Amino acid sequence: DPGDMAIAWDVAEAITSAGASVVAIVSHDTDFAWLHEQVRSRNLTSIAVLQESRLGSLSRRFLRSVASATLTYKMRSRKAAVNASRLLLDLRDPSRRLGVEALDADLVFGEERVKQLFWTLSRLGYLSSEVPPPSPDAPLPGLPASFNAFLLFAAVARFYFVHDLGPLPIDPLTCTFEQASRRLSSKALHAWRRYPGGLVVVWPWRWASNRIRRLYGKSTSASHAVSAGGPFIVRDSAELVPQILARLDYLGERDALHPEAVDLFFELNEKPLAALGVARRRSAAADARALRELFA
């Protein structure tokens, strides 16, 4: 192989002219066994650099036996690289461009800090009005039985939107809560604005394409978030239902609400709607009112 010959020639030049004392060869090809032996015959150190996952093969064992020493490395899969990153989205950015950042490998965000974040946002009014905040002097209670991580995400999203805090991690949710907790603790509670109301957070879900599934995992929230464009916020108004259905591609941007769009939404979201206790009504207008109650 001309390539192997070129490598051998480079090694020979390094030994004779550059005064090299150590030669490392990154290859699993047994043709380089001879080169390892030649390096060692000149009382120099020969290192075989081998991929960790392939160390069990006979050829790799042979290279380990002829080299002076062995170094191993592990290839990082694309999926592992994605799992070691977080997705970010600026909810005020009209381009809705998803960003990616490296994930802190030492990130730990336990239940106690989730509880602290939950009740702090509750005191500021960013959680549902059905969750009464504890009194300021009372010890924090545990998380309610109805606790849902996505409802806490919605509260964090409203908090970021109101204060225009820039990109928010949307996956994994541990990063969302950890960053929000840091933000909240950077100021006294009274320094933050209370929730003014009127913001509806929507987290769309869509089956991921094969390309996105390969990049972000087959059944991860990241792949669903990327496929659907990520969560978004809509201001409450009389046009809330058509605005949300348009953002979810059930309507054109300027289309008026029509029964077919409502029917299709109910049909494709039958299971999650049933889980929320939302059932079809007798008319399209009643269905639209039910959706408004759900979204708002």
pLDDT-derived band at 82 (thresholds 50, 70, 90) equals very low
Model confidence, pTM: 0.66
Could you tell me the residue range of the domain that residue 111 belongs to? 80-196
Percent of the chain with pLDDT over 90: 19
User: Is 266 domain-assigned?
Assistant: no
User: How many Å apart are CA 101 and CA 86, to the nearest integer?
Assistant: 5
Mean pLDDT of the residues in the chain: 81
Question: Domain boundary residue among 73, 96, 125?
Answer: 73
User: Is 258 domain-assigned?
Assistant: no
Mean pLDDT for the stretch of residues 166-171? 87
* Residue of 144, 160, 45, 37 whose CA lies nearest to 91: 160
SS3 238: coil
Does 27 share its domain with 130? no
User: How many Å apart are CA 12 and CA 18, to the nearest integer?
Assistant: 10
User: How many Å apart are CA 82 and CA 101, to the nearest integer?
Assistant: 10
pLDDT-derived band at 154 (thresholds 50, 70, 90) equals very high
User: Is 135 domain-assigned?
Assistant: yes
User: How many Å apart are CA 100 and CA 116, to the nearest integer?
Assistant: 27
Task: Say if residue 3's pLDDT is above 80.
Answer: no
User: Is 278 domain-assigned?
Assistant: no
Mean pLDDT for the stretch of residues 208-235? 77
User: How many Å apart are CA 96 and CA 154, to the nearest integer?
Assistant: 17
Mean pLDDT for the stretch of residues 102-116? 69
User: Is 295 domain-assigned?
Assistant: no
Tens digit of each residue's pLDDT (9 = 90 or more) over 134-152: 666 666 677 777 778 888 8
User: How many Å apart are CA 125 and CA 119, to the nearest integer?
Assistant: 10
pLDDT value for 81: 44
SS3 237: coil
Question: Domain boundary residue among 52, 73, 94?
Answer: 73
User: Is 231 domain-assigned?
Assistant: no
Question: Taking a C-beta distance cutoff of 8 angstroms, is the pair 72, 44 a contact?
Answer: no
Task: Say if residue 98's pLDDT is above 90.
Answer: no
- 8-state DSSP, 206: -
Question: Domain boundary residue among 73, 99, 131?
Answer: 73
The two beta strands, 69-73 and 85-89, are: unpaired
Tens digit of each residue's pLDDT (9 = 90 or more) over 48-70: 888 776 555 677 778 888 888 88
Give the total number of structural domains in the chain. Answer: 2
The CATH number given to whatever domain includes residue 59 is: 3.40.50.1010
